[in-house]
Amino acid sequence: MNELDNFIPLIWESDGHFSPHCSERDNMYAVAGIPHAAFQGQEMIVGGIGGGNMYSYYMPVYNQFVFDNSPVYMDITMLTNASGGVDIEADVVMTGNINTTNNKILFMLTYYYSATYCATVSRYHEEPFSLNLTGQEATFSHSFDLENSWDLENIKGVVLIQTFTSSGNDYDGSYGPYPMYPIHQAGITGVTLDPDVELTLIHQDDWNIVGLPLGVEDSDYLTLFPDAIYNTLYSFGEGYNLETELVEGIGYWLRFDGYGSNDMIGDDFEEITIT
């Protein structure tokens, strides 16, 4: 079912890759046997088919909820950060009213370990969600560290808005009762790497003032401006100093023997101090 647009798998693992908050989720839904599937936090299907496929059982329940209108609009992003982890940000706008109490916003990372454990919950954080009226909006965020062995392509960020006050009980045939905790909205995203920025820098004939507008791995002036005249990069302040590398926030004189341009690719600076 992973190919369905509005299906967000969350596997709470209690064996090989133990999921944080797994015991709390088990208690929340009164889990007594596995597999125990909770759709939208409300509809339970317990048990499975040995060596078989549960698609025909799960699909009708998915269809039961997929066309429901949510009172919440949510846009989520997940970027890598300077600490080697990820930052998840959720922009939330209330398009309707939420009438439940004890609502929370949940941030999670899932990891694809195998076809069987394709969405193991591997990081978890929850906090109160106070929005409940049409027109309210806010941005929520949380950061997670990553395991060194993880492949970024196998990581998904998930955000849920869910009530933690039971709205009643559900039964799966003779199994139950299972408390229901409705989910008001959910979103999933992959990791977005900080994108490279490409600039075209135009220079005139003879002397030009140049600087370093992007973060680059190699800031040698002939790497950045291969058509510059050799030994003509000068910083200026208290006199002129011959340089070979450009530094962020510093201006330089550099000489060219003709009009031209150079393409520079690098990371955008969040903040530049000019000296």
Structure token digits, residue 110 = 């899932």
Q: Are strands 239-242 and 43-46 parallel, antiparallel or unpaired?
A: unpaired
Residue 30 covered by a domain: yes
**pLDDT above 50 (res 36):** yes
Structure token digits, residue 120 = 């193991």
Whether residue 212 sits in one domain with residue 186: no
Whether residue 215 sits in one domain with residue 146: no
pLDDT for residue 198: 86
Helix (H, G, I), strand (E, B) or coil at 27: helix
Q: Which domain holds residue 28?
A: 22-190
Whether residue 153 sits in one domain with residue 35: yes
Q: What is the pLDDT of residues 215-225, one digit of tens each?
A: 888 999 999 99
Q: What predicted TM-score, i.e. pTM, was given to this entire model?
A: 0.69
Report the chain's mean pLDDT, rounded to a whole number: 90
Tally the residues of the chain.
Answer: 275
Residue 10 covered by a domain: no
Which of 6-10, 44-48, 103-107, 160-164 comes out lowest in average pLDDT?
44-48
Q: What is the pLDDT of residues 128-156, one digit of tens each?
A: 999 999 999 999 999 999 999 999 999 99
Whether residue 183 sits in one domain with residue 211: no
Whether residue 163 sits in one domain with residue 27: yes
* Nearest alpha carbon to residue 147 among 189, 115, 111: 111
Q: Which amino acid is at 113?
A: Y
* Nearest alpha carbon to residue 164 among 191, 194, 132, 128: 128
Average pLDDT for residues 60-84, to the nearest whole number?
91
Distance CA 180, CA 69 (A): 18
Whether residue 146 sits in one domain with residue 250: no
Whether residue 120 sits in one domain with residue 52: yes
* Domains held by the chain: number: 2
Whether residue 242 sits in one domain with residue 185: no
Q: Which phi and psi angles does 64 have, rounded to 5°?
A: -65, -30
**pLDDT above 90 (res 165):** yes
Distance CA 108, CA 70 (A): 20
pLDDT for residue 34: 83
pLDDT for residue 274: 47
Residue 186 covered by a domain: yes
